[in-house]
Amino acid sequence: MSSAGKSPVNLAEASEPWWRGAVVYQIYPRSYLDTNGDGVGDLPGITRKLGYIAGLGVDAIWISPFFRSPMRDFGYDVSDYCDVDPIFGTLDDFDVLLAEAHRLGLKVIIDQVYAHTSDDHDWFAQSRASRDNPYSDWYVWRDPKPDGSPPNNWQSVFGGPAWTWDARRQQYYMHNFLASQPQLNVHNPVVQEALLAAAKFWLDKGVDGFRLDAINFAMFDPEFRDNPPWPVGTRTITRPFDLQHHIHNQSHPDIPVFMERVRSLADTYGAVFTVAEVPGPDPLPEMRAFTEGETRLSSAYSFDFLYAQSLSPRRVKASQMNWAGSFSEGWPSWAFSNHDAPRCISRWSQPGADLSAYAKLTNALLLCLRGNPILYQGEELGLPQAEVAFEDLQDPEAIANWPRTLGRDGARTPMPWTRGKTFAGFSEHKPWLPVGQGHAERAVSEQDEDHASVLNFTRAMLKVRREYRALQLGDVSFPDVAPPLLAIRRELNGELVTCLFNLGAETVPVPAELVSGHKGLLASGVAQDLPSELAANAVWIGRR
């Protein structure tokens, strides 16, 4: 249906900021494209592929950290917030990337890591030098208990106590992640000013948004009370961190107040997108606190889907209905895969499933949800999780907890561009991680001209989302159908789009009333314009 035949957009809808309902494409720069032959992706590599990204039909790119860093956690250990690490290029390279993205109509979102820095950061070097210098309270320092043990029982995400002894200060310093990632004292207003100054540096360059990494770890209980235990039950334990309720080492109620300062700065630059990553077992209260009203962040996303081991209509409904109200209650973002989580088609597909069909289903579902979809590089190709041998692992968490955790490397392997080229066209030299098994067969070169490919289906689905405002901004509801059939309705100003997904392994009937009066827009695994049934992993999108 052409745009001329659609319902007119009302003024309130037209005045919504660019980011509401926008589709974001996540780029993990180490693994996107290597242009200088060192086996690591770089900023010029991203710039070279911006035409491809714009051709997908997304609205924005989010680039994972490229700041100066010793790379012990691959960029999430920042040693200089306002410079590019030489492995990725230069500030001039970033300026070129930003200008080209904007020329192509793409917004650019970058990470901000506010909970911690690298221990190589000059701030930490100053802070650890003494207890009475101007930086002494920029990090979290505590005396040992009388017996010499750490100040409390807090545990690091990556294993072991969240405290490391420092002989210079004769104190313990706190770290929620690696010992080389000391915790910033974001309770300190001077630290907040320094972080806002770093954000302003990038806003002055022209970035369009920030993704705030693990922001619920930014503040802690100033009384340093012990975390209560969490009974093991039937959960798989890979680290001591899993044995506690994390009510004191994170999620302090002053974090939303700091978010207001971030939003206030962002608003001086126009419609800047600010999205919080909120990991944890009960993220909803924090997501609401971070995003409610007009003075806090634009959006937040949780791990509802990222670590889920299965996909069901019930899970989708529960996640969506938490955000089915007015814009003022908060606006969600959604990711099924990213650089920290195993790729969704490997987690969710049943043994023997057609992975291409399943990838079309998951990509379509992500793009039909109410909120901002975040599509991770390679999802548009239907890449499965790669298996990385122990000797090739780079992820410190995976190495420390082998083999009890899959780690993150299997989702970070190089992007396959050209089958038949060295390392699938990612680099001419051995890449920092091996190319995933079977990924070259799913390279862009193999899918680009194949009408039935995952890549071209995803492009078509993005086109449908762009053409129908109901999919971007509309209300969401779920007609009552028997699982594994999932039916989603999106509606705005009389425009109604119905989205059907068979999440099961067997053909299911489609109630006639679901599709009555509709015209098919896009389908996978079903040929009928108005289907009476859906095969396993089939998708049908129609409008009325």
Residue 388 vs residues 16, 342, 413: alpha-carbon distances, Å: 43, 12, 9
What is the predicted pLDDT for the residue at 14? 55
Q: Do domains 3-114+189-461 and 475-543 have the same CATH topology?
A: no
Q: Tokens in use for 89?
A: 């290029």
Rounded Cα–Cα distance for residues 422 and 417 (Å) = 10
What is the predicted pLDDT for the residue at 238? 76
Rounded Cα–Cα distance for residues 187 and 139 (Å) = 10
Please choose, from the candidates 403, 389, 377, 400, the residue with its C-alpha nearest in 3D space to the C-alpha of residue 434. Answer: 389
What is the predicted pLDDT for the residue at 131? 97
What is the predicted pLDDT for the residue at 329? 86
What is the predicted pLDDT for the residue at 282? 84
Q: Tokens in use for 107?
A: 């917004």
For the annotated catalytic residues, the residue numbers are 213, 277
The secondary element (H helix, E strand) that includes residue 12 is helix 11-14
Q: Tokens in use for 305?
A: 């889907």
Q: Tokens in use for 353?
A: 């499933």
Residue 74 vs residues 28, 78, 94, 120, 198: alpha-carbon distances, Å: 10, 9, 18, 14, 19
DSSP state of 121: S
* Confidence (pTM): 0.95
Please choose, from the candidates 141, 134, 249, the residue with its C-alpha nearest in 3D space to the C-alpha of residue 193. Answer: 134
Contact, 542 vs 530, CB < 8 A? yes
What is the predicted pLDDT for the residue at 300? 96
What is the predicted pLDDT for the residue at 2? 31
Helices within 122-212 (DSSP H only): 122-127, 189-205
Strand locations in 336-400, DSSP E? 372-376
Residue 223 vs residues 13, 226, 249, 323: alpha-carbon distances, Å: 46, 9, 10, 34
Q: Using alpha carbons only, what angle is made at residue 70 by residues 64 and 73, rounded to the nearest 5 degrees?
A: 50
Contact, 43 vs 97, CB < 8 A? yes
- Count of beta carbons in the 10 Å neighbourhood of residue 526: 19
What is the predicted pLDDT for the residue at 406? 63
What is the predicted pLDDT for the residue at 398? 86
Query: What is the distance, to the nearest Å, from the Cα of residue 519 to the centroid of all Cα atoms in its chain?
Result: 33
Q: Taking the CA atoms of the chain, what radius of gyration do you get in angstroms?
A: 23
- Count of beta carbons in the 10 Å neighbourhood of residue 65: 25
The secondary element (H helix, E strand) that includes residue 82 is strand 80-84
DSSP state of 38: S
Q: Tokens in use for 347?
A: 């987690």
The domains of the chain are located at 3-114+189-461, 475-543
Q: How many CA atoms lie within 13 A of 132 on its CB side?
A: 0
What is the predicted pLDDT for the residue at 321? 95
- Could you say which residues of the chain have pLDDT below 50? 1-12
- In the β-sheet with 141-142, what is the strand arrangement from edge to edge? 141-142, 171-174, 163-166
The residue to which tokens 């630290």 are assigned? 191
Contact, 24 vs 58, CB < 8 A? yes
Query: What is the distance, to the nearest Å, from the Cα of residue 127 to the centroid of all Cα atoms in its chain?
Result: 32
DSSP state of 36: S
CATH classification (class only), 3-114+189-461 = alpha beta
Contact, 414 vs 41, CB < 8 A? yes
Give Dmax (Cα) for the chain: 76
Indicate the pairing of strand 24-27 with strand 372-376: parallel
- Count of beta carbons in the 10 Å neighbourhood of residue 187: 17
Please choose, from the candidates 185, 186, 207, the residue with its C-alpha nearest in 3D space to the C-alpha of residue 266. Answer: 207
- CATH for 475-543, options being 2.60.40.1180, 3.40.50.300, 3.60.20.10, 3.30.43.10: 2.60.40.1180
